[in-house]
A and B are shown apart, each in its own frame.
Chain A
């Protein structure tokens, strides 16, 4: 490409990008975001949210209806897929079935006219990197699904792209292999230092791997933040609900002066909380932030409600208590089973108090 952009500039800049299919299907709707150099970035969202379309626009397989995509300082508007400094790992891997593993991995270098000797050296190196050393002579149909994926990875990494794009790379693997591959991908990314952009619908996958996550819904980016920030400080009900588990209460808020609002959300009423959203609101709290006790907590800083235990789900290290409090759905509290043999210590039908700190409470505008 041309003169490299300064190293602190974002490697990917997506500006006001819209993709319209047919006459009015807005697959991607006015999206702007940046990806930093060396970052592990995830596009997360339910199927049909436009994350794959966005990734394919980075790869050059789709053309934005509107807006600009800049990679490594160059506007990609007139750059064909085969001239872009990105490589992709496809969901189906797309390992060429008529070529050996080594031919697959070396394909991109052969296209670039790299000398045969250098190709075989770099292929061997790339196969070592993805732990497939010595399998270069195999045909793809002699490999397992996990091995085929490593071939796809090596094939994409060997060209040392500015950005590696991964489209649902783990969705075709079984649960155990998927978890191992998550760690493996992170290790690989740290080793090669290449920017990774991964598309996934699996929030656990995104949380455990990515440095930053963009949560998408219906073609729109809802929030871009680090995993911890997304989990602890979601800015919308959708993000809070999509990432992890959450208790939600619909209600109303009115101003209560100097950064405080007065919230009523059944069964809670007249709670003064930090915040500035007013009108129709949604009050939320994560289940592990909720404590359960037999007696009413004395602390005034706590929001507390009395209810009865409707269900207990035991998971070994922790239990999920569903407490009926007269809201639309029972409150979910996640209790650590700290003492052996006791479990959570509660039984179905027990009258209990659920409580949480006001600073753990989330408020979303509806």
Chain B
């Protein structure tokens, strides 16, 4: 389309609306927040932009760095678990018969059709002390105990006096479970796309040359799927790092992530400049992740080229 100069009217007509939209609703607010991050509070709602770095200095205090580190750790664990679960799922979908494939993909994206808040509350109903997991465990405990009584070992209390429900909610584990649940489709879909593109004859060639399935997986499938793995990691890691609802609802007092701190600055603490500084620090971390991915895919993008 190098003749856009000839039909300048059409060009501007299609170019202008998205540009206006992006500037008005993305760049402008973002710039505003960026400016806030260099300001100080001077009243209940007033902010003086003094171009000071004091908000950033505060954001880098050990208290907040610790929360940053914790968020990174939670996001990393979540991403790793998603990769471990997502890879077999993606492989199963790719190798499923074509008809089943459509339905399996639908199952993967089905959660998107329900509001995240509702899904998170449903998870609470599953994990809480009187929730479905504990009910199931209790049922199993009672049956096992009944069996022990039946074979004459009931008086030894081998399984404890009574059933102790597991504390599955309001702790870090609950947050990770929730995050994995939310992020899994983001991991499965790019992996599926990468594996679907992979020429099956590479796998056959590896088998033909004497490699077993596990060897073939590590030395052929994984290297050739690396661009997809990198994409999956990035688009799982970034939203997870900034997630706010899941730790808020499923986490305990010590499982807050950086987004919860930011939310508090903008709402209850009413400290927008500090919230803005924290937000931008989070964004810089994200940019760093994206740059790393670009580097990785450039080096390992060979699988994409063929």
CA–CA, A82 and B206, complex, Å: 8
For chain A residues 88-129, which have a beta carbon within 8 Å of chain B?
88, 90-92, 94, 96-98, 107-108, 111-112
- Which residues from chain A contact B210 at a C-beta distance below 8 Å? 82-83, 108, 111-112, 159
B side interface size, CB within 8 A? 22
- Is B305 in contact with A107, judged by CB distance below 8 angstroms? no
B207 & A98 in contact (Cβ 8 Å cutoff): no
| A98–B209 CB distance below 8 A | no
Determine the distance from Cα of A135 to Cα of B210 in the docked complex, in whole angstroms. 24
Size of interface on A: residues with Cβ below 8 Å to B: 27
Q: Across the interface, do A90 and B205 meet the contact criterion of CB distance under 8 Å?
A: yes
Say how far A133's CB is from chain B's closest CB, in angstroms.
Answer: 21
Question: In the complex the two chains form, is B204's CB within 8 Å of A81's CB?
Answer: yes
- Asked if B204 and A61 sit within 8 Å, CB to CB, the answer is yes
- A111 lies within 8 A of B215 (CB): yes
CB distance from A122 to the nearest CB of B (A): 14
Q: Is B252 an interface residue (CB 8 A)?
A: no
Residues of B within 8 Å of A112, CB to CB, are: 210
- Interface centre among B209, B211, B224, B306, by most A CB within 10 Å? B209
Q: How far is the CA of A167 from the CA of B305 in the complex (A)?
A: 24
Nearest Cβ on chain A to B140's Cβ, whole angstroms: 39
Q: Verify if B43 is at the interface (C-beta below 8 Å from A).
A: no
Residues of chain A within 8 A (CB-CB) of B204 are 59, 61, 81, 88, 90, 94
| Known pairs A98-B223, A139-B302; A92 contacts B208 (CB<8 A) | no
- Contact at A92–B201, with CB atoms within 8 Å? yes
Give the nearest-CB partner of B205 in chain A: A94
Q: Are A107 and B223 in contact (CB under 8 A)?
A: no
**Bound Cα distance A159, B208 (Å):** 11
A96 and B202 in contact, given A111-B215, A141-B302 (Cβ under 8 angstroms): yes
Q: Are A108 and B209 in contact (CB under 8 A)?
A: yes
CB A333 to nearest CB in B, in angstroms, measures 45
Q: Given A90-B201, A92-B199, are A82 and B207 neighbors across the interface (CB < 8 Å)?
A: yes
> In the complex, are the beta carbons of A87 and B224 less than 8 A apart?
no
A97–B224 CB distance below 8 A: yes
The answer, yes or no, to whether B212 is at the interface (CB within 8 Å) is yes
Within 8 A of B (CB), among A72-90: 80-83, 86-88, 90
Contact: A159 with B209, CB < 8 Å? yes
Contact present for A97 and B305 (CB under 8 Å) = yes
A201 at interface (Cβ–Cβ under 8 A)? no
Instruction: Check if A155 is an interface residue, CB within 8 A of chain B.
Output: yes
158-216 of chain B: CB within 8 A of chain A: 199, 201-202, 204-212, 215
Cβ B199 vs Cβ A82 within 8 A: no
Q: Which residue on chain A has the smallest CB distance to residue B212? A: A82
B205 partner residues in chain A, CB cutoff 8 A: 88, 90, 94, 96, 155
Is A82 a contact of B208 with CB atoms below 8 Å? yes
Q: Are A87 and B201 in contact (CB under 8 A)?
A: no
Q: How far, in Å, is A178 (CB) from chain B's closest CB?
A: 21
Q: List which B208-235 residues lie within 8 A (CB) of chain A.
A: 208-212, 215, 219-220, 223-224
Q: Which residues of B contact A94 (CB under 8 A)?
A: 199, 201-202, 204-205
Are B209 and A87 in touch, CB under 8 angstroms?
Answer: yes
18 contacts between A and B (CB under 8 A): A61-B207, A81-B204, A81-B207, A82-B209, A88-B204, A88-B208, A90-B201, A91-B201, A96-B224, A97-B306, A98-B300, A98-B302, A108-B210, A111-B215, A141-B302, A141-B305, A141-B306, A156-B208
Residues of chain B touching chain A, judged by Cβ–Cβ distance below 8 Å, are 199, 201-202, 204-212, 215, 219-220, 223-224, 300, 302-303, 305-306
**6 A-B pairs closest in CB distance:** A108-B209, A94-B205, A94-B201, A111-B210, A81-B207, A98-B223
Inter-chain pairs besides A87-B209, A88-B205, A108-B209, 16 sampled, C-beta below 8 Å: A59-B208, A60-B207, A82-B209, A82-B212, A83-B210, A87-B208, A94-B202, A94-B204, A96-B202, A98-B224, A98-B303, A111-B209, A112-B210, A141-B302, A156-B209, A159-B210
